[in-house]
Amino acid sequence: MLDAKIIAVTNQKGGVGKTTTAINLAAALAMDGNQVLIVDLDPQGNASTGLGIEPHARAMTTYDLLIEEAPLDEVVMPTDIDNLKIAPATTDLSSADVELVANEKRSHLLHDALRAPQTSGIYDYILIDCPPSLNLLTVNALVAAHSVLIPLQSEFFALEGLSQLMLTIREVREAANPSLRIEGVVLTMHDSRNNLAQQVEADARETLGELVFKTVVPRNVRVSEAPSYAMPVITYDPGSKGSEAYVRLAHELAAKGR
């Protein structure tokens, strides 16, 4: 088994479908027979909740992984989906930025945890659900990752928000992770009947070209409902347009190779 392909799912703008994309893409990859791990690096812990991990059940979390340098296998928990595991988060993680500042290895802690020899060959994919900000947690994710997947909401000003993220990616490349690349940009919450959404898609494809995934995730009520049942839409309603889109996205990602 090859070492895992590590993908940071990030956008500093909140409400763009970042966590939804992380858990549904992970679930779709797992259902295709891949061994998949989600690393919940968002203090809100929405990826953990969305996969049915109750807060009281999160005995060890990504806080322990980073601050206490606990081994990854002590933090990881199974989910109700075969082949899909999660390193959960709680609000404890919100203080990590401050606590990490004094650590000389502060930007490389997640890198060292995910790329440790004992984790080699266990997973096919590791998806990191980043917080909606460009803080030290996100920098840890970018240093640890092989590539970055950027969910982009189909709305006005969407592309403008990418410039700061692209700058951060370039800085991480120069300082710590020269092989970091952009996996792609996925358009989310897309309403094909809306002229503005069509214009955003056209602008994104013209500006970013091949970086934009062919798959577009539609605005879909089933996608919005699924987290309240602590399930990805992939299992909540497999026949929904949102579910089908994430399955296509998983296939498109896998076709790019590892």
CATH of the domain at 210: 3.40.50.300
User: What's the pLDDT tens digit per position in 22-79?
Assistant: 999 999 999 999 999 999 999 999 999 999 999 999 999 999 999 999 999 999 999 9
pLDDT for 156 beyond 80 = no
State the pLDDT confidence band at 17, using cuts at 50, 70 and 90: confident
**Domain limits at 14?**
5-255
pLDDT for 84 beyond 90 = yes
Q: Taking the model in full, what pTM does it have? A: 0.95
Predicted pLDDT at 36? 97
State the pLDDT confidence band at 1, using cuts at 50, 70 and 90: low
**Positions of E strands within the chain:** 5-9, 36-40, 77-78, 84-87, 125-129, 147-153, 181-188
Total of domains in the chain = 1
pLDDT mean across residues, the chain: 91
CA distance 81 to 25: 13
Reduced to 3 states (helix: H, G, I; strand: E, B; else coil), residue 189 is coil
